[in-house]
Amino acid sequence: MAKLVEFIPNFSEGRNQAVIDQLAAVAKSVPGITLMDVQSDESHNRCVFTLVGSPEGAEEVAFQLCKKAAELIDMRKHEGAHPRMGATDVIPFVPVKDVTVPELVELTKRLGKRIYDELGIPSFLYEDSATSPDRVNLAKVRKGQFEGMPEKLLQPEWAPDFGERKIHPTAGITAIGARMPLVAFNVNLGTSNLEIANKIAKIVRGSSGGFKYCKAIGVMLEDRNLAQVSMNMVNYEGTPLYRVFELIRIEAERYGVPIIGTEVVGLTPAKALVDCAEYYLKVENFDYHKQVLENHLIG
Amino acid sequence: MAKLVEFIPNFSEGRNQAVIDQLAAVAKSVPGITLMDVQSDESHNRCVFTLVGSPEGAEEVAFQLCKKAAELIDMRKHEGAHPRMGATDVIPFVPVKDVTVPELVELTKRLGKRIYDELGIPSFLYEDSATSPDRVNLAKVRKGQFEGMPEKLLQPEWAPDFGERKIHPTAGITAIGARMPLVAFNVNLGTSNLEIANKIAKIVRGSSGGFKYCKAIGVMLEDRNLAQVSMNMVNYEGTPLYRVFELIRIEAERYGVPIIGTEVVGLTPAKALVDCAEYYLKVENFDYHKQVLENHLIG
């Protein structure tokens, strides 16, 4: 079966449609790569492409997009509400089918090297590609933004992963990283007491001792008068959804609070939910890749 | 999003590879249709093609396959262990994506008409396409087989759905039908008492008052010394897997018997399991077609 990767380059242009169109033309120029979605935002002055295809095609078209963005976008003139540091600001790579995160880490390293060697654009590796714990989080990497980068790169710990300690004069610097797909999963509690949601969020999230691949905060759903544990599941294989659901259920019980319902926000890989069905239905020896019909139809 | 249908024509030839190859060439001749699998069996003297593609392409290639099979296969000379009545013996059509069973019922009716009008091959409609309850079950429709068909067609209730009351001299008669995909789902009980599995099978299956879209029998897993409720779920939307699982669980409880584990045998649509995850995780307002990533990648 064919390997498939999703990648989501973010460009620092959300107002000039001609520029976005030229980038889209490049995105469609490599066989086997599909441009699935283009979102642009004028106030952010930023556009986000979603592409899917073969790892080889993804690597090539990501390079071509960086090249075209460097031709068309001058960061010295860029302003917008969203933090940014490069013409091609960030490119996450996500496995979709028959490809592993470590394979994509290798891809991001080849891509970062090529972007510097051929275009003179330096880059940071982030998320699972990060070369130090400080570089995992994109917000930390991007802190200082385009204008602050020349100074930041001179700090001992902030040499780029590829390139010298200076930005490209107009294209800035790019973050490139591989990561698992993220599932936004919220659990609504049968209480209007936000404190309970906050306590449970702290219990389940990795940063305070809970599940490694779970980020969680308590929020209030004002319209329903319900407290919610709002989560980003950043690796649904490492921390399956049913496991946080069940932990939240038993922690809420001590307050006499039931789970009212849950939400999956936006896109999810089917496997994140099929894995849960396997748990609850006690399915033995299920081979997701072979036994799920759709896996034979994509790619 | 593109509509996708799976169809599985069965031909009465499993020994002459040249014939199978010519049929495979036809199967690959229509753009947008993928021949995913060819299985042939010498003792059955039968081959089974699995194809996926657009409804229009499926309708066209199914016709072309019937035409080619009629040219290449002479049922007067056919012998094999598997029941059969035509050169193209049976063609089930199954929805895969963004297509409904009623749409496929219409497809099967157009196909049956064309096969008679242009090729002179009569046909029965079966499963969800059936025009009477007697014709739902393929085994009933095919009873008498090729040799017995001339006489069967003269019985008042067995006029073909398309064509006159006589078979095509060499190609016989074909069964064509639309149906939901089938999920083979087995539940292993923590007992070696087959009687308990039999009792529970009777409770859950539609034929004796249980769930409409569930067929079930009790079987003994000799190697594990466990009794099993072995099921075919013939419409996982009408009768979801979690519902039979939970009913089996509570019925087994009265005998003090736990569910040890379950098996999903062979292929399943992802949705059959995602629907179960939605139930157990109490997911609200989930839009399977929009929110599952893979749905944007197939077709």
Across chain B, mean pLDDT equals: 95
In this predicted structure, the answer to whether residue A1 has a pLDDT above a threshold of 80 is no
Contact of B62 with chain A, judged by CB distance below 8 Å, is answered with no
- B165-214 confidence digits (pLDDT tens): 999 999 999 999 999 999 999 999 999 999 999 999 999 999 999 999 99
Domains defined along chain A, listed by start: 4-178 (3.30.990.10), 183-296 (3.30.70.670)
CB-based contacts of A255, cutoff 8 Å, min separation 6: A191, A193, A196
Does residue A175 register a pLDDT over 90? Answer: yes
Give the A window 110-169 contacts with B, CB below 8 Å. none
CA dihedral (A116, A118, A121, A124) in degrees, to 10, reads -30
How many beta-carbon pairs below 8 A join chains A and B?
Answer: 130
Q: What are phi and psi of B96, to 5 degrees?
A: -115, -45
Q: What is the pLDDT of residue B1?
A: 56
pLDDT (mean) for B219-243: 95
Residues in chain B: 299
CB contact under 8 A, B291 and A266: yes
B270/A52 touch (CB, cutoff 8 Å), yes or no: no
Question: Could you read off the pLDDT of A19-61 as tens digits, one per residue?
Answer: 999 999 999 999 889 998 899 999 999 999 999 999 999 999 9
pLDDT at A249 over 70: yes
Is the model's pLDDT at B10 over the cut of 90?
A: yes
pTM for this one?
A: 0.83
Q: Cβ contact (<8 Å) for A262 and B282? A: yes
Q: Which B residues in the span 245-264 are in contact with A, Cβ-Cβ below 8 Å?
A: 245, 259-264
Q: What is the ipTM of this complex?
A: 0.82
At B218, the pLDDT band (50, 70, 90 cuts) reads: very high
Please name the residue of chain A whose CA is at the shortest distance from the CA of residue B50.
Answer: A296
Burial letters for B7-19: b for 16+ Cβ neighbours within 10 Å, e otherwise?
Answer: bbbbbbbbbeeeb
Predicted confidence (pLDDT) per residue in A136-146, tens digit: 999 999 999 99
Chosen from A271, A287, A294 to mutate, greatest number of chain B CBs within 10 A: A294
Query: Whole-number mean pLDDT of chain A?
Result: 95
Residue A298 has what pLDDT? Answer: 77
SS3 content of chain A, % helix, strand, coil (to 5): 40, 30, 35
B82 catalytic per annotation: yes
Query: Over the stretch B69-122, which tens digit does the pLDDT of each residue have?
Result: 999 999 999 999 899 999 999 999 999 988 999 999 999 999 999 999 999 999
**Least CB–CB distance from A281: residue in B242, B291, B298:** B242
Q: What does the pLDDT read at residue A44?
A: 92
Structure token digits, residue A168: 């490209």
